[in-house]
Amino acid sequence: MRDVSYQLVIEIGEPLICRVGRLGVFEFPRGRYVYTGSAKRGLDSRIARHHRAEKKLQWHIDYLLAARGVGIVRVVRSSCGECALNRAVDGDILVRGFGASDCTAGCGAHLKWVAPLRTA
């Protein structure tokens, strides 16, 4: 079975206030996050797009990834459905609806804060 969904492991190095499209302005504490997404076609190009610095801000994740001090540290691909993969992540929802505009499984959000970053 081919990969249809993915997770971005993201680190935010310093506390951040960020506008997330029409959702509004939110505070993101320093830490590690997991964003779960999918692509029916073109999974490789979707992931490559997330890595690009220059892009039209279209999805919620675009706004977060465009902010200073935010970076993708790992990408995990999966053949599991997006919502099932998202529900398997133990973490806190800080922004209701983030990445879940088309979610019909009641996930609440497809971005979860999973751990604070340790200080050096």
**Which residues in the chain land under pLDDT 70?**
1, 119-120
Q: What sign has the CA pseudo-torsion 14, 43, 84, 109?
A: positive
Q: What is the pLDDT of residue 103?
A: 85
**Interior angle at CA 92, CA 98 and CA 101, nearest 5:** 15
Helix (H, G, I), strand (E, B) or coil at 120: coil
Q: According to the model, what pLDDT value does residue 117 have?
A: 80
The residue extents of the domains of the chain are 5-115
Full-model pTM: 0.93
User: For residue 36, which of 50, 23, 56, 16 has the smallest C-alpha distance?
Assistant: 50
Q: Please give the C-alpha separations between residue 100 and each of 27, 36, 53, 60, in angstroms, as whole numbers.
A: 18, 9, 23, 9
